[in-house]
Amino acid sequence: MTALTTVPLTADLVHGALELEPTPGGGLLPHRLPAWARAQNIDPMLALNEAQPSGVRIVARTTARVVELEALVTRRALAGAPARAVGSVDLVLDGQVVDGAPVPHGDLLTTDVATGASELARGGPGTVRFALPPGEKRVELWLPHQENVELLALRADAPLDPVKRGEAPRWVHHGSSISHGSNAVRPTGTWPAVAAQLAGLDLVNLGFGGSAVLDPFVARAMRDTGADLLSLKVGINIVGGDLMRRRVLGPALHGFLDTIREGHPSTPLLVVTPVLCPIHEDVPGPGAIDPAALGEGRLVFTATGDPAEVAAGKLTLHVVREELTRVVEQRRATDPHLHLVDGLGLYGAADAVRLPLPDALHPDPETHRLIGERFAEQVFGPGGTLAR
């Protein structure tokens, strides 16, 4: 067996992260928000989810025949709910997904929905190992998109040369748990990853479960990140969290877009309206886990708001789409590089008949692929928003 050499885990090997935090154990923790932005956040959910490396991957050119990654993953579970699929490290060779394997062992953080208390069971680090074909190739190791991943060691039997950023247009996208990849079973199967692969884009995925709520620090992070394309998919978390009223949504969106434009005055910028979510189309938040379904061992979400309050300013997805459309149409008078993408064209009523949301909120793996394919086609295909 050929001896493997430890390869230093430098920032130029890790794509899709905005920061790598050294850990007490000598590893690196990828973050999708920089430290200054994390310091302005008070939400534990966002703190957990921005450290889950959706879209983060190790990228190199090499003639190696073997590569392995040692990491400590922390998986999450809800007490009484079905176990989430174990995440994988996906191997992509010259742009094609060819293999995938979970990191063995790992810690498990279990949360009680009723009390909010969490319990951590230690499992320790593990190593994934891939055999590679001969010759020079571009190797990408996509990290599990819904597991915290502490990178401990990277090893190979030949040098791993960093791939310079800029070989492909860089796409910085912000969205909710749907963009983060909830219910996708592998990191290359989230809809942004699918779209990026089809369109040949270098993805920076700022999709944060439960946290696409127009936080100003996220806008500043997008402003300060180099990009050839930017997009914002917003609505479901604002409605589900019952966080805004109609009076606030429009000005908040204007402010978010203004901040992005400070750093990207003419970069194509897409505002994507919400995909269909039947429970919140005409019923406001807050959203909640259905306790009856949870008692049966199923995870299902429901809307608990009163539709009668919409007239007083409460938000539904229908109202959000109206406001997003209004703001984009207004701004396009002076910003020709701002575009609207209709989320119902990515996943709409007819799709929900064939591919219903399994938990009433998040798409399944087939639907993630469908949304990604449609996004790539509607944005970059013939007659698309940014047709090439």
pLDDT-above-90 percentage for the chain: 93
Report, as an integer, the average pLDDT of 25-50. Answer: 96
Ordered alpha helix ranges (H), 264-364: 291-295, 317-331, 349-354
Is the N-terminal amide bond of 286 cis, ω within 30° of 0?
Answer: yes
Task: Grade residue 112 by pLDDT with cuts at 50, 70 and 90.
Answer: confident
At 218-268, the pLDDT tens digits run 999 999 999 999 999 999 999 999 999 999 999 999 999 999 999 999 999
pLDDT > 90? residue 25: no
pLDDT score at 140: 98
Report, as an integer, the average pLDDT of 298-310. Answer: 97
Measured CA to CA, the distance from residue 148 to residue 154 in angstroms comes to: 17
pLDDT score at 356: 98
At 168-215, the pLDDT tens digits run 999 999 999 999 999 999 999 999 999 999 999 999 999 999 999 999
pLDDT > 90? residue 387: no
Inter-residue contact 144 to 103 (CB < 8 Å):
yes
Measured CA to CA, the distance from residue 229 to residue 249 in angstroms comes to: 24
At 147-157, the pLDDT tens digits run 999 999 999 99
Task: Grade residue 83 by pLDDT with cuts at 50, 70 and 90.
Answer: confident
Helix orientation angle between 246-263 and 216-223, rounded to the nearest 10 degrees:
20
Under DSSP, the state recorded for 301 is: E
> Which three-class secondary structure state does DSSP give residue 117?
coil
pTM: 0.96
Domains and CATH numbers, the chain: 5-162 (2.60.120.260), 170-380 (3.40.50.1110)
Which one has a higher pLDDT value, 103 or 2? 103
Inter-residue contact 239 to 317 (CB < 8 Å):
yes
- The CA–CA distances, whole Å, from 148 to 32, 168, 300 equal 11, 27, 24
Report, as an integer, the average pLDDT of 25-48. Answer: 96
How high does pLDDT run on average in the chain?
Answer: 96
pLDDT score at 1: 57
Report, as an integer, the average pLDDT of 312-333. Answer: 98
Inter-residue contact 61 to 38 (CB < 8 Å):
no
Report, as an integer, the average pLDDT of 317-342. Answer: 98
pLDDT score at 116: 83
pLDDT score at 130: 98
